[in-house]
Amino acid sequence: MKRIGIMGGTFDPVHNGHLLLGRQARSEYGLDEIWYMPSHIPPHKKDHRITDVKDRLAMLELALEGIPFFSVSDFEMKREGNTYTAQTLELLKEEYPEDKFYFIIGADSLFQLETWYHPEKVMELTSLLVSGREYDRAGRTLDQQISYLKSVYGAHIQVLHNPEMNVASARIRDMAARGEDIGELVPGAVAAYIREHRLYQESR
């Protein structure tokens, strides 16, 4: 049985925070592999045009090159229509019945989890590894949110104790659109790809 961490998202673009989370999850919880799984059509991302699939996959391949036990998965890319985490986890369980999956998310996602498509299935089918111990939302701490989800859904949730990183894909897109240096926020090969292909320029 393999212990596999799943990093989902649009990765538009992938950044150093994504890599930090993967490394922390693998080292802290003894995972065998980390799969970076970009969404095909994420149903909750309506605030900006999602970069073409081939570009997001290419940036991920560049970012993960040479990192042992990290790989890009096109599992969601191969599906048509909206891609929901609950459905993805069901399909993964069918295809890899012997393996145990850990879904890696940020604290903000844990507070939004009940708004997801069939959140009860998400919490039934996977263990959640959550980053952001000091996160607080609407007067509820991360520890309180974890306790709540455990009591209501029987969720299995553990905290990732990674260093804080003030980096977000939206900020990187804005910086790239203004022609600012993003070299400290993304792997060098990804920054070069964004420049060469003039990604995010249309948002200027």
Residue 23 lies in a domain: yes
Site of tokens 């998400």: 122
Give residues with Cβ within 8 angstroms of 69, minimum separation 6.
26, 31, 32, 33, 34
The yes-or-no verdict on residue 12 having pLDDT over 80 is yes
Q: Which domain holds residue 133?
A: 3-198
pLDDT score of 122: 97
CA dist., res. 19 & res. 114, Å (int): 26
Q: Is the pLDDT of residue 63 over 80?
A: yes
Number of structural domains the chain divides into: 1
106 falls within a domain: yes
* CA neighbor of 44 nearest in space, from 108, 130, 121: 108
The answer to whether position 8 is within a domain reads yes
Quick one: pLDDT at residue 41?
Answer: 64
Residue 204 domain-assigned (yes or no): no
d(C-alpha 181, C-alpha 185), whole Å: 9
Domain CATH for 17: 3.40.50.620
Residue 67 is assigned to a structural domain of this protein: yes
Q: Is the pTM of this model over 0.75?
A: yes
- Among left, alpha and beta (phi > 0; psi -120 to 50; other), residue 6 is beta
> pLDDT (tens digit, 9 = 90+) per residue, 93-139?
999 999 999 999 999 999 999 999 999 999 999 999 999 866 677 78
Query: Across the chain, what does the average pLDDT equal?
Result: 91
